[in-house]
Structure 1
Amino acid sequence: MNKSSSDPKQRFKYYGTPGKDFARFDVNSDLPEEVQPTPRYEAHLGLQVFPTLPLIPPLNWGLFSGLAKRFGFRSMAGPNLQTWMPANLSRLHRDKFSDEYFVERRLNGFNPGKLNRVKDQEWQYAVNYQTGRYKAEPGGLLPEYSEARFVLEGSTLKVHSIKYSLKNQTIICFPTDAQKWEDAKYYFRSAEYVFQEIQSHLGRTHMNMNQYAMAFYRNVINSPIRELLFSHFEGLLSIDKKGAALIIGDTGFIPEASALDAKSVEGVLADEIATLTYHWSPEKQTLPDPIDNNYFDRAAVAMWELLKTYVAKFFDDNQRKIKNYWSEIEGMSEDLVTHSILKQELGTLAIKDEKDLQQLCVYVIYHCTFFHSWVNNKQYEDGGDIEYTAIGLWDKDDPNYDPKKVQERHDAQVKLMWSLANVHYNPALEFAPLPLKKLLWEYRDRIEPGIPLGLIMMSINI
C-alpha cells in the first residue's frame, strides 16, 4: 500500500475552502473503503425502498429492481399516489386539521425544539420562520415571515394566532377566522417543512455530524475514542455523498419540490451550521413550563443524561489510553477548528481538554442516534400527506404555474419521505454496546412515547 492510500488525510479529503465552505467530505472523491456501505446495509435498504427506486441513486439492486418493475412501482404517480402509499399519522388522525393536532405536532412532530418563551405578550410561546431572507422561485408561495403563537392554560398549550407575511402583505389570523385560519396554518406548516428539511434534518444532523466524522476519520486511529464513535458514524459519509445530488444542488429534492431555489437552500444550510457547536445540551432548548404532552423535551433530556453516564464510564475505563493517544485528539481538534464556519461569537470547536472531549462525544452520539432518528423517522408522519403539508406551495394564478409539475413535486415528496422514514438500519437496542443498551432500557419510560425505543438507530445512514 503506498503512502497516499494509507494516509487518512489523503483518503478523507475536505470539500471546498477551509472556513468558507461548511466542512464535509469531498463528494468528488472516491469514498474510502472503510466507510463504504456494507452488503447488509444495501440489502436492508433495498428491502425498504424498492417502491421508490427512481428517487434513489443507482445501487446494485438486483432482485429488488426487477420486483419494482414487475409490480409497477416505477410508474407510481398522479392523484392516486397517496392512496397507494402506506398511510401516515395525519391521514390516520380523526381530525388532522384541528387546532389540538396543530399544537401537538409543534411539540412532538418532525421539527422539534423550536418553541421559544415570549414575554410581555398575550401568548407565552412562539415559533417563527424568516424565509424572506432567501429567494423563492417564480410562482412559489412561501411566506416571507411566519409565526405561530401559543398560549399556556395550566399545563396545556393552545394555539393563539398566526402572523405571516405573503406578497408583501402582513396578515394576523385567529382560530375564529374560518378558512383564513386554515390557510394560515397551511402556510405555516409549509414554511416549517422547508426549515425542517434544511435546518434540523440536513443541517443539524447530516452535515453537522459530517464535520465531526471527517476530523475523526482523518486523525483518530489508535485512541479508544475510535471504538466509542466509529459505529455512530457508520453510513454517514456514504449517505451524505449520495444526498448531495439527491437532496440539494440544482436538481435536488428540496430545490425541486420547494419554492426555494438551489442557492437559497445552500444558504439556509450554511447559516444553520454556522450556529451549531458541541458546547450545547438539550436543557438549553427545553420549555421552562410543564406541558402535559411535551414528549420531546422529556425524551431529549433523558437521552442526554443516559449518554453522559455512558460516556463518563467509558472514559473512566479507558483514561490512560486516551491520554497516551491525546495527539490524535489534538489533530482532530485542529481539523475541526480549521474547517469550521462557526460564528466567532459562539466560540470555537477546539477540544482543549478531556472535559471538552467527553462533551463532544455525548453531543455526537446524541445527534447520530436520538435526534436524527426523531427528525428523520417522523418525516412521513407529516410530509406523507400533501393535504396536510407540502414542502412547496404554488400560486395557481401565476403564469409560471404548471399543474403537472406540481403533481410531480408532490409525488416526489410523498415517496421520498416514505423512503427516508422507513430505513431502520442498525437499531441501537440490537447493535449498541451492552452498557448503552442497558441504559436505554432503564430510561425507556422517559424516552417513550416521544419515540419508540426500537426506532432509535445507531447512526445517520439514511
Structure 2
Amino acid sequence: MTSFLQRIITGEVSLEEYSDTEKERLLYKLLSDLPSSSILKIKQFIKGSNHDTITKSQRAFGKIVHRDSLIPIPNLSLELWDRDPFGGKDYLGSTETDESGNFEILYDPKLAGFGDLPDLQLKIFDPPQTVYIDGKKSQVRNLIEVKNGSDNVIGDYDFGVVQILYYEYDSEYKLFPYSLPDSIRHDFTPEAEVITTKSVAKYGLVMDALIQRNRRNPNEPSYDEIQKSFPETLTLILEKERPGYTRSDEFFGEKMLNGFNPVIFKKDKNNPSLYTTAFNGDKFTLTGKIDLPNYKVKFELKDGKLLPIEITLQFREDNCLQPNSPLKAPQTYTPADGKKWLQAKRVVRATHLGVLGEVKGHLAQCHFNMEQYAIAFFRNIRKNPIRGFLYPHIKEVVHINKFGRKILMDPKEGFFAKLEPMLINPDMLQWVRTSMGTYDWTDWQPRKPLSENHTFAKLGNLYWDILTTHVDSFFATHQEEIVNNWSEILNFSNELVQNSVPYLPLSLEQVDDGDQWYDLNEIEHSSNPRQEINGELKAVRPITASAQPTEQEIANLKQVCKYVIYQCTFWHSWIHNEHNPEFGELKYGDLLTNGSMGDEDDESVLPGRQTASIILAVSHMLTNFKYGYILKNEDGDVPPDLIELIQSKKAEFEQLGFDLTNLRSRLNS
C-alpha cells in the first residue's frame, strides 16, 4: 500500500478539496493496491456517508456444489459485487461457504450507488496462499469462477444451487484417479508454462524434421545423425574421457544402485550374499515394436562396489504377442562370455531404463501416484493449515499430467500417436494401475543403504530427516488449527481411499521368485488394516476415521505430508536429474527389437529411426525443464523454514555429490 493511500485511509489527507471527478479518478488509480474492505471505506468517505450508517438490509444466498456429484464444497471464499455499466463494479460483501456448501451475504443495496439497484455478481475464490517476494510476506488468491445473478435486484436474492467444475474425477479414466482437464481451477505458473512450451517446441521441431526426412527416405537419417541432433549426454562425454567405462560392470552396477531408476534389490534365496533384480514381461500384450524379455541379474558386493556376475534372459517364441505366450529356453550369461555379456547388459538396460524406469518409476510412482493425492487435496482442504503447507509441492501435478496427456498420449496429436502401433505395450496404463496398487503412505520411508557407495539411499535418508524436522515443527506451531479443521482431513482421507485403486501385493511385472527384499522401507509391509469399499480392498489406507483426531491419526497426517513432499521433490528430482545422463544415448539405453542380442553397431535390433527420434526428443523436451526449485523458490511459496533446513545440510549433500540447486520444489515436469 502506498504511503499516500495510507494517509487517506487514516484521515491525515482530506478528500474534501477534490472535485467529484477528481475523486473518482483518484479512486480508480489506487484500486489495485487496496483490499476490498479498504475500498469500501474510501468509497463511503468519498460519497460523504459514514461507514457506521450502512444498513445490511438485503441478503444474497445459495449453495455451491461439485457439478459431477452435487457434493457440497465448504470453505470457499465468496465476494458479492454490483455490476456497473462499462465494466465498473461495487463491492457489496463477502463470506465463506459452510460445511453444507451454503452461503449467505448480507449487504446494503445503497452501496450500488445513488439511484442504482444492484446487478449482482458472485465471485468464487480458493483460499489465499502465502508467498514471500523479496523477503516480504503477502497473500495471493485464485479466482475460481464468476456467477452473474439478476439485474436490478430488489429484496433478497437466491443464487440457487451453483454447480461448478472443481477438480472432478475424469469418468473416462477408469483405471486410476485422473482429474477432468476442464475442472482444474488454477493456472500453471505462467513462467513454468512458457519454459515447458518452449522446450517442447524446440525439440519437437527437431523430431519432426528427422521423422519427415525418414518418411522421404527410410534409410535416413543415420542413427549417428539422430544422436547428434540432440545435446551430448553423460555417457557420450564419459566415453570420450574413458573409453569403455560406461559399458563396464562397475558402471552397470553403479547405475543400478544410484542411477535413473535405482533398484530396490532382493537377496538371492540360494546365496544371501548375492543381490538380485528381475523383470517379468509374461503378462504384457506386445505390439511387435519392441522386445520385452524376462531378466534376472545377480550382483556381488566387492570392495564396496556392486558388480553384476550373472544375467539370465528369457524371450518369447517368435511372433508371440499375447500374454502368457510360449517362451524360449532361458539363456544365462557371465562376464566370461565377452561380447554376449555386453549384449546381455544392454538388453537389461533397455528394459530397465526405457520401460521399467519410465512407466513404473516415473509415470506411476511420481505422476499418477501423486495425482490421486492432489485431486483429493484440492477438493477438500482449504481452511486447514495443511493447505498452505503442501500446496507449493503439489500445486502443478494435475497440470503437468494434463499437459503430458495431451502432448504425449493424445490419440491424434500426441507424439506417441506417431508410432503406430504404440511403442510401449498396450498394457501400459494397466501396468500403472497395478503399480499404484502396491503404493501406500503407511510406514513408508527411504530404503536403507546397501553399501557405502549407495549414495541415493544416503541422500534419501538425509532428506527424509530434514522433512521429519520440517513437518514436526509445522505441526508444533499449527496443531490446534489443524485439529479445529480436522473435518477437511477426514473428507480428504475418505475421498483418497474411496478413489484409490485396489490393493495388489505384486505389480504386473513382478513375480514371487522366492528371493527376499534386502530392505522393506519402500515395500508394502505395514500391518495396519486397509479399507474395503464395494468389495475392493483399497491400496491407500485411511489417514483418519473420526471428526476429532487421535494422536495416531495426527501422526498419520504427518507421515502423509512427508510422503507427498518426498515424492514430489526429491524422488522426482532424482528421476529428472538422472534421466538424460543414461537414457540420452541410443546405443547405451535405446529400446530393442528382433531378439535384442546384437552389438551396438547392429542396427537390426534397433526399433527404427522414427522411434529413436521420438525417444530422444521426448526425453530432452520433458527433462530440460528448468523451473521450480526449492532454493531458487521462483514463486516465493516454499516455506522459508524448509529452505533454511536444507541449506543447513548443504555440506552433507555436497559430500554425497548432490547439487542442491537441482532439488525441485514440486512435481511439474
TM-score tier by shorter-chain length is: 0.7 to 0.9
Shift of 1:277: 0.3
1:40 aligns with 2:191: yes
Contact 2:165/2:183 (<8 A) preserved = no
Please give the secondary structure, in 2, of the residue aligned with 1:357.
helix
Instruction: Find the aligned partners of 1:298 and 1:259 in 2 and give their Cα distance.
Output: 38
1:264 aligns with 2:427: yes
Instruction: Find the aligned partners of 2:166 and 2:206 in 1 and give their Cα distance.
Output: 29
1:124 aligns with 2:274: yes
Map of 1:30 onto structure 2: 182
User: Residues 393-447 of structure 1, C-alpha deviation per residue, up to 9 Å, x if partnerless?
Assistant: 34599xxx99997111111111111122211211101213211111112223443
Shift of 1:47: 4.6
Shift of 1:45: 2.2
Instruction: Find the aligned partners of 2:233 and 2:420 in 1 and give their Cα distance.
Output: 19
Map of 2:339 onto structure 1: 179
Instruction: Find the aligned partners of 1:183 and 1:322 in 2 and give their Cα distance.
Output: 56
Contact 2:298/2:309 (<8 A) preserved = yes
Relative contact order, higher structure (CA 8 A, sep 6+)? 1
User: Residues 209-261 of structure 1, C-alpha deviation per residue, up to 9 Å, x if partnerless?
Assistant: 00000110000011000000111112211111122244457676679499865
Instruction: Find the aligned partners of 2:273 and 2:311 in 1 and give their Cα distance.
Output: 11
Map of 1:340 onto structure 2: 500
User: Which of 282, 286, 289 is the aligned partner of 2:448?
Assistant: 286
Map of 2:647 onto structure 1: 441
Residues 110, 253 of structure 1: alpha-carbon distance in 2 compared, 3 angstrom cutoff: farther
Contact 2:590/2:606 (<8 A) preserved = no
User: Which of 151, 161, 164 is the aligned partner of 2:310?
Assistant: 161
Map of 1:276 onto structure 2: 439
Map of 1:13 onto structure 2: 168
Residue identity matched to 1:15: D
Please give the secondary structure, in 2, of the residue aligned with 1:425.
coil
Shift of 1:22: 1.3
Map of 2:321 onto structure 1: none
Residue identity matched to 2:311: I
Residues 426, 312 of structure 1: alpha-carbon distance in 2 compared, 3 angstrom cutoff: same
Instruction: Find the aligned partners of 2:623 and 2:304 in 1 and give their Cα distance.
Output: 31
Contact 1:257/1:412 (<8 A) preserved = no
1:203 aligns with 2:364: yes
Contact 2:594/2:605 (<8 A) preserved = no
Contact 2:254/2:305 (<8 A) preserved = no
Q: Which moved more, 1:410-419 or 1:214-223?
A: 410-419
User: Residues 51-101 of structure 1, C-alpha deviation per residue, up to 9 Å, x if partnerless?
Assistant: 213599xxxxxxxxxxxx9xx799798331211311111111122211111
User: Residues 257-291 of structure 1, C-alpha deviation per residue, up to 9 Å, x if partnerless?
Assistant: 998655311121111000000114334x324x423
Q: Which moved more, 1:188-197 or 1:40-49?
A: 40-49
Map of 2:615 onto structure 1: 413
Contact 2:367/2:397 (<8 A) preserved = yes
Residues 136, 259 of structure 1: alpha-carbon distance in 2 compared, 3 angstrom cutoff: farther
Tell me the matched-pair count: 437
- How high is the TM-score relative to the length of structure 2? 0.60
User: Residues 108-156 of structure 1, C-alpha deviation per residue, up to 9 Å, x if partnerless?
Assistant: 111014322334328511111112221221253221x111211012422
Please give the secondary structure, in 1, of the residue aligned with 2:489.
helix
Instruction: Find the aligned partners of 1:314 and 1:55 in 2 and give their Cα distance.
Output: 47
Shift of 1:328: 0.3
Contact 1:141/1:394 (<8 A) preserved = yes
Q: Which moved more, 1:38-47 or 1:125-134?
A: 38-47
Instruction: Find the aligned partners of 1:437 and 1:87 in 2 and give their Cα distance.
Output: 32
Please give the secondary structure, in 1, of the residue aligned with 2:466.
helix
Instruction: Find the aligned partners of 1:308 and 1:3 in 2 and give their Cα distance.
Output: 37
Shift of 1:179: 1.4
Contact 1:123/1:149 (<8 A) preserved = no
Map of 2:201 onto structure 1: 50
Residue identity matched to 1:318: H
Identical counterparts, % of pairs: 25
Map of 2:584 onto structure 1: 384
User: Which of 423, 433, 437 is the aligned partner of 2:625?
Assistant: 423
Instruction: Find the aligned partners of 2:422 and 2:266 in 1 and give their Cα distance.
Output: 26
Structure 2 runs not aligned, ≥5 long: 1-61, 74-163, 215-220, 317-327, 506-523, 525-529, 531-539, 545-552, 598-602
Query: What is the alpha-carbon root mean square deviation over aligned residues?
Result: 3.1
1:350 aligns with 2:542: yes
Residue identity matched to 1:263: P
Instruction: Find the aligned partners of 2:206 and 2:432 in 1 and give their Cα distance.
Output: 22
User: Which of 399, 409, 412 is the aligned partner of 1:238?
Assistant: 399
Shift of 1:38: 2.3
Q: Which structure: greater strand fraction?
A: 2
Shift of 1:103: 1.0
Q: Which moved more, 1:376-385 or 1:133-142?
A: 133-142
Contact 1:248/1:265 (<8 A) preserved = no
Residue identity matched to 1:424: K
Please give the secondary structure, in 2, of the residue aligned with 1:239.
helix
Q: Which has the larger radius of gyration?
A: 2
Contact 1:239/1:461 (<8 A) preserved = yes
- How high is the TM-score relative to the length of structure 1? 0.86
Shift of 1:452: 1.8
Q: Which moved more, 1:8-17 or 1:264-273?
A: 8-17
1:106 aligns with 2:256: yes
Map of 1:189 onto structure 2: 349
